[in-house]
Amino acid sequence: MRNTGMRFCSMILVWLVTAGAVVAEDNTVLIPAGSFIMGSNKVDTEKNGPEYGNAKPLYADEHPKHPVDLPAFQIDRYEVSNADYREFVAATGHTPPPYWLSNGYVLSMRKGEIGKLDDRRLRALVADIFRIDVDSRRLDHQALLKVIDKHLAYQDTLPVIEVDWGDAHDYCNWAGKRLPSEAEWEKAARGAQANEFPWGDEWHAGYSNSGDEAWEDGVAPVGSYPRDRSPYGVMDMGGNVSEWVADWYQPYPGSHESSADFGRQYRVIRGGAWGREGHYALHLFLRTAYRFYLPPDSRLDDVGFRCAGDTGPAAMAHSTHSD
């Protein structure tokens, strides 16, 4: 019976999907011009990298610690949410993330049509697509709609995931912004004092959504962890989802590290995630200097993004930092 219900709900999904829009509030933070310390000189003296399941030498690609001077720029205070990305999909016809179909979030683009469904169809959506933990058999039409609205409103607040680098790039470009460079992301995360973590130099469990939490979707609503806050007030850089940045995975200037992975084959992701390292979701991988990289067509359930932008004359040039 459940398979029949799923096929039935899939037919409803096909019927309902169409365009809609949500206007997102501006949430940019101005990062002042100036120098900061990028990278680290840490050495894995205890050879913990292989033990922790790290595919690359621990710390080596962060070398050397070096000053970087950046002009002022803007960066999103929060990770791009489902609601933000929905506006982009609605306006451009861009393909939505795959999980929007599997979990029914794509129906948020046509809420008005959901109300036209009869109770049998609504109960099938609640049970088989949204998988809401209620006894839908006891709910009348209005109660079913209220449960669905509440569920979709919560999904609005989660960071968008299962987007590849091209999706992130296209969204930021559509929004009149761009992906942050790796240096911009790190400065926004660690501040002028080169914090080890966004909030300071000491690790604190529970400060971020980084492996010890129990959110049903893995990800938490953006901004749920007020202590996961950088010196500039940028949120969720120590957890929730790792984030695409503009750069190819390359050695830093002055680095003596060699790797077959350096070059124009992998894009960098930065920041901690709710479980990207599985049971190795250790604070070593959540540091502001930590680098990771993926093929640009990767779509993972713990990788999202945020956008950045130029200020002043640089904004007119709209530098992309992506080549």
In whole angstroms, give the CA distance from residue 26 to residue 60: 37
**CA max distance for the chain:** 67
Task: List, in sequence order, every beta strand (DSSP E) within 13-129.
Answer: 28-31, 34-38, 66-70, 73-76
In whole angstroms, give the CA distance from residue 141 to residue 241: 36
Q: Is 47 left (phi over 0), alpha (psi -120 to 50) or beta?
A: left
- Long-range CB contacts (within 8 A, 24+) of 219-223: 219/158, 219/159, 219/161, 219/274, 219/301, 219/302, 220/158, 220/274, 221/154, 221/157, 221/158, 222/78, 222/79, 222/81, 222/157, 222/158, 222/159, 223/77, 223/78
Tell me which H or E stretch contains 122: helix 119-124
Residue 105 tokens read as: 């979030």
Please check the confidence at residue 170 and state whether its pLDDT lies above 90: yes
In whole angstroms, give the CA distance from residue 231 to residue 250: 27
In whole angstroms, give the CA distance from residue 226 to residue 11: 41
Burial 11-42 (b: 16+ CB within 10 A, else e): ebbeebbeebebebeebbbebeeeebbbbbeb
Q: Are 122 and 145 in contact (CB under 8 A)?
A: yes
Mean predicted confidence (pLDDT) in 252-276: 92
Give the Cβ contact number of residue 143 at 10 Å.
Answer: 14
Mean predicted confidence (pLDDT) in 233-262: 96
Tens digit of each residue's pLDDT (9 = 90 or more) over 89-140: 999 999 999 999 999 999 999 888 998 999 999 999 999 999 999 998 899 9
Tens digit of each residue's pLDDT (9 = 90 or more) over 12-66: 444 444 333 333 356 899 999 999 999 999 998 766 666 566 678 889 999 999 9
Given this model, what pLDDT does residue 278 score?
A: 47
What is the residue extent of each domain of the chain?
2-22+85-156, 28-80+161-317
Q: Are 60 and 34 in contact (CB under 8 A)?
A: no
| H helical segments located in 157-279 | 165-174, 182-190
Question: Mapping DSSP to helix (H, G, I), strand (E, B) and coil, where does residue 138 land?
Answer: helix
- Give the CA count within 13 Å in the CB-facing half-sphere of 34: 11
Q: Are 25 and 83 in contact (CB under 8 A)?
A: no
Q: Fold for domain 28-80+161-317?
A: paralog of FGE (formylglycine-generating enzyme) (3.90.1580)
Given this model, what pLDDT does residue 313 score?
A: 57
pTM: 0.87
Peptide bond into 96 cis (omega under 30): no
Mean predicted confidence (pLDDT) in 137-145: 92
In whole angstroms, give the CA distance from residue 247 to residue 181: 6
Please check the confidence at residue 149 and state whether its pLDDT lies above 80: yes
Those residues with Cβ within 8 angstroms of residue 3's Cβ, 6 or more apart along the chain or in another chain: none
Tens digit of each residue's pLDDT (9 = 90 or more) over 187-210: 999 999 999 999 999 999 899 998
Tens digit of each residue's pLDDT (9 = 90 or more) over 292-323: 999 999 999 999 999 999 986 555 444 444 44
Given this model, what pLDDT does residue 26 score?
A: 61
